[in-house]
Chains A and B, each alone.
Chain A
């Protein structure tokens, strides 16, 4: 659309879009969005391996609290002397697992990877609006990840106050060793992470609004791009508030201010702090924290919508309703943070308001779920691994979303707040679902990332079915643990004989978790093997309509040889019949790519 992209088109036409590149400019300091997306994915995957490994360790501790394991000592060193895990280390593990999975895997790893890969390719642009800012964003992510990993090795241990880092626990090293240097590095890493996220998000928004190719109106954008746009906007609104909270916490920790601290007697002395309130921190944290879960899930929704439509060989049902519900969810997501604080001691009237807004958000979510199910209805489903993960996504999103009705209701939240019920709920609705979205995206767009190579489907099937069974095996019974009244973040439950009847359930959950983690090795193997030895497929392996499949398989800076494609239709013309209903519009081909003009035998619809 913009003149900028056309100028570039002319440039690239002349020198054929190919520059001589060194190793450093191609793989390390690359400004090419395709390479940057791979950097995001790889960093996210490494962080994911660390995060999942941590969960295996603390799940083993929960299942067998009175047993010593040599593996603890090997991995945790002095924190597991003689193979017995230190309670502080247990808390550090759950804290770092949450931080790493939410921010580093599901925010940067998911949204960073696919926004970078797909935005330019699906809107028909040569690259992001600013390749350099994009590069900075990608490297800040690496710096932030490195900082977070380094914090694991400090003497007093990594941050251990929970991923929500509520003060005073996170502010006072006297209260828990993890709140020493480990917490300082945690905060610095998060500040760098926020900078990374903001630079990336601004770039995504500018690119989508300004650099769409000719004919690509907003209502012809694939739902992936819509979801990336809205995710980026929510991120721009919410992340600065966490930045402020982080800054104030740093001040409280190191410079003697009292934003969050008041009337504290610890380690035998009274602190000077007076007048602050931890509840203020909770407000600031959750003003980011709740939109954050939508930052995690919206891209997964976009990816699943796209893959469900392409593999059902059907248009997505209710395209405009899908956009509308994305917008409604994004808008409401900034008004519901208080549902994390029903029993924080804030005024109960606020609790009523947040119950109201929270349950409202179920409406657009329900519309989306119904539309996905209708999309596969009467389709011709191609069961590629990406499709399986997208169907799995709808399943876990529905299951996890439904229990949100309990947690969003202030009166019911009283008794399940901070129990395992919450863990089961959010892991299904935004953990597993977002991971499914991420995996579906990797299987589906692998050929775009790696020059036409495909991942092996058989391994994909094994990967999906084992993961799907284990996900329910872990998180369905976990609701019961919460409903039985067991709080989260307990190093061991054996101090309460009352909970002894949950011990065998915890063992079962841990066994499922270990199998699920092991199943991810199949994926890793498949991923790296296919990068090097994967078999090249056709240019458009899934017969999809969107523009990324019209680009040449080999990677060139600028994405397309010659002029950019022009768009004539929406991205969901699957199985569209001609006027006489005798055959598809293009005979023998059940899809019409976006760059194909309106055909004479075709009815013009409203897109």
Chain B
């Protein structure tokens, strides 16, 4: 099989070289005596000018096609308070980007078509115009100032955590290749921890002599109450990781040797998100794709795929080793009383580590 493939590749390669050679020879024929096979003639200018217009149409069509075909793949509405602000800023930036992009591509390719070279045509000796240049310096200055100011206000809003918000503290612990969550418990204060204390069942290196550790508890799923600010403190045991929670518009690198943090308020429960129109449509689409794939797999005698149900996710978004592509954790956002019930069921470190 492999040998066949190699032979095939070599064969196809030779054929393409042979064809290229033919093309090369053909392209030399039909030249006038004063023409050179390397220099464009009026005919080349004309054809390539038309192709420029065709290319602009191709770009626009590609944009429309991609939106039509894959618009559904884009992230759904933000499931966090600050995420809405970020999405608005996105929208403002997209308006600027698409306006300028469509205009510039149009002008560039239209000019390339309109002013294609012709024998005897004269180009305009036009080398400077300070007013024009002033205009197209000042317009980006104004637009970008607007975006910078808008962006900075949003950024400060997202990143600043004040004590008045009284956020719930959770530690997110990263290792090759997985995540753990450590909840601070009733005192909302995490016990100290360091990798040097890792031993036996104490896999997160929690300091058992710290009284704050007693009511902490560790889980494999990140449960969050809706509409309550959560401050996620992040710690890594080995290499850089990044906690990426795309549905909440949240991300922060997890750095060995330091504690990083990100705070946000979830606003949509997992259940509500599953029931939103867009998510129903998206999940239906995914399941249709999975069913088709399943049929193919089963035809080959393999196991089929399960049908998919939406869940919020943490993904690792900083290259961290060979299993980087499968370092995930489920986030479940629930109503507050359900969250409290869940909390009550968890085993405290007091008990599991015998503090």
Using a CB–CB distance below 8 Å, which chain A residues touch chain B? 70-71, 73-74, 83, 86-88, 91, 161-162, 166, 168-169, 172, 175-176, 261-266, 270, 275-279, 312-321, 343-345, 348, 351-352, 355-356, 359-360, 362-363, 366-367, 369-371, 373-374, 376-384, 387-388, 391, 394-395, 398-399, 402-403, 405-406, 409-412, 414-415, 417-419, 454-459, 461-462, 465, 468-469, 472-473, 476-477, 480-481, 483-485, 487, 489-493, 495-498, 500-505, 518, 521-522, 525-526, 529, 534-535, 537-538, 541-542, 572, 574-577, 590, 605
Contact = CB atoms under 8 A, between A and B. Distances in A.
B127 A409 contact: no
A278 B290 contact: no
Contacts of A352: 152, 155-156
A382 B40 CA distance: 6
- Give 4 closest A-B pairs by Cβ, nearest first: A454-B38, A262-B257, A485-B246, A345-B260
A161 B62 contact: no
Interface string B37-68: 11110001101110110010011001100100
B249 to A, nearest CB: 5
A443 B144 CA distance: 37
A575 to B, nearest CB: 4
Residue among B59, B140, B154 with the highest chain A CB neighbour number at 10 A:
B140
29 contacts: A71-B9, A166-B319, A172-B239, A263-B257, A264-B256, A266-B238, A277-B255, A278-B240, A278-B256, A348-B156, A352-B155, A367-B137, A367-B140, A380-B118, A384-B38, A395-B105, A395-B109, A461-B48, A487-B315, A487-B317, A495-B328, A497-B305, A500-B290, A501-B73, A501-B282, A505-B73, A537-B39, A538-B36, A576-B125
B342 interface: no
Given A266-B176, A315-B126, A345-B253, A503 B44 contact: no
A493 to B, nearest CB: 7
Contact of A169 (B27, B58, B59, B319): B319
A409 B239 contact: no
A415 B115 contact: no
Contact of B104 (A169, A345, A369, A535): A369
B141 interface: yes
B80 to A, nearest CB: 11
* Max chain A Cβ within 10 angstroms of own Cβ: one of B132, B158, B256, B313: B256
Contacts of B5: 70-71
Which of A312, A363, A495 has the most CB atoms of chain B within a 10 A radius of its CB?
A363
B51 A465 contact: yes
A402 B144 CA distance: 12
Given A172-B239, A264-B237, A380 B117 contact: yes
B97 A405 contact: yes
Contact of B140 (A261, A362, A459): A362
A527 B48 CA distance: 21
Contacts of B211: none
Interface in B155-212: 155-156, 158-160, 176, 194-196, 198, 205
A607 B288 CA distance: 67
Interface of B: 1-2, 5-6, 9, 16-17, 20, 23-24, 27, 36-40, 44-45, 47-49, 51-52, 55, 58-59, 62-63, 66, 69-70, 72-75, 85-86, 89-90, 93, 96-97, 100-101, 104-105, 107-109, 111-112, 115-118, 121-129, 132-133, 136-137, 140-141, 144, 147-148, 151-152, 154-156, 158-160, 176, 194-196, 198, 205, 237-240, 242, 244, 246-247, 249-253, 255-258, 260, 282, 285-286, 289-290, 293, 305-306, 308, 310, 313, 315-326, 328
Nearest to B100: A402
Contacts of B282: 501
B148 A356 contact: yes
Given A380-B115, A398-B105, A490 B40 contact: no
Given A402-B101, A455-B38, A521 B16 contact: yes
Contacts of B155: 348, 351-352, 355, 409-411
Given A262-B256, A278-B240, A501-B286, A91 B324 contact: yes
Contacts of B324: 87, 91, 489-491
A472 B101 CA distance: 14
Contacts of A73: 2
B249 A496 contact: no
Contact of A459 (B24, B105, B198, B320): B24
Given A161-B319, A264-B256, A314 B286 contact: no
